Amino acid sequence: MDQRLETIKKSIRDIEDFPKPGIVFKDITTLLNDAQAYKALMEHLYDRYKGYELDFIAGIDARGFIFGAALANMLGVGFVPVRKKGKLPSTTISQKYSLEYGYDEVEIHLDAFRRKKNAQVLLIDDLIATGGTAKAAVDLINKTEALCVECCFIINLEALGGTDKLEAPVYSVLKV
């Protein structure tokens, strides 16, 4: 593993039994407050995506905003937040997805990609587990005239097979 990835990996903290017993929560706040690790991650993402013809980055509520918005700014493209239901003020489209019990819903503004016809969109989140959230976000982007060209995660919990649910190509910085 290259030095930069090693620095990123070491900066992420495991919190056992959060938010409930049996879950190991990957805490990226320790990455964010380590300036060297955060910079290494953003440079790694910039190097990967600088050659892509992207029009927008869409980030998933809430940790996807942190990486997505920073990367959008570095690449000189727009940022679109994929939010939990009820947070966006203008007209939205939404997509439901199943949870262990019940369902949740993500939304984007109907006109989020209006600045570019057939916009090419990179979706980003901190982590993929079962893949339900990311699949809903990809479906949401593709319901508009935009196209999700890749999904990017800082961490892929590989054993859960979440990436199998996604129709778009996937890139994960770290596989755990």
The site for ligand AMP (CB under 6 A) is made up of 23-26, 60, 63, 125-134, 162
Residue 145 amino acid letter: E
Smallest gap from Cβ 15 to ligand AMP, in A, equals 8
Q: Which is nearer to ligand AMP, 129 or 147 (CB)?
A: 129
Sign of CA dihedral 151, 30, 41, 52: positive
CA dihedral 31, 36, 40, 41 (to 10 degrees): 20
* Active-site option among 63, 83, 107, 150: 63
Cβ-based nearer residue to ligand AMP, 55 or 140: 140
Tell me how far, at minimum, the Cβ of 44 lies from ligand AMP, in Å.
19
Q: Is 100 labeled as catalytic in the residue annotation?
A: yes
First-to-last C-alpha distance (Å) of the chain? 13
> Residue 63 catalytic?
yes
Measured distance CA(16)–CA(128) in Å, rounded: 18
> Judged by CB, which is closer to ligand AMP: 26, or 83?
26
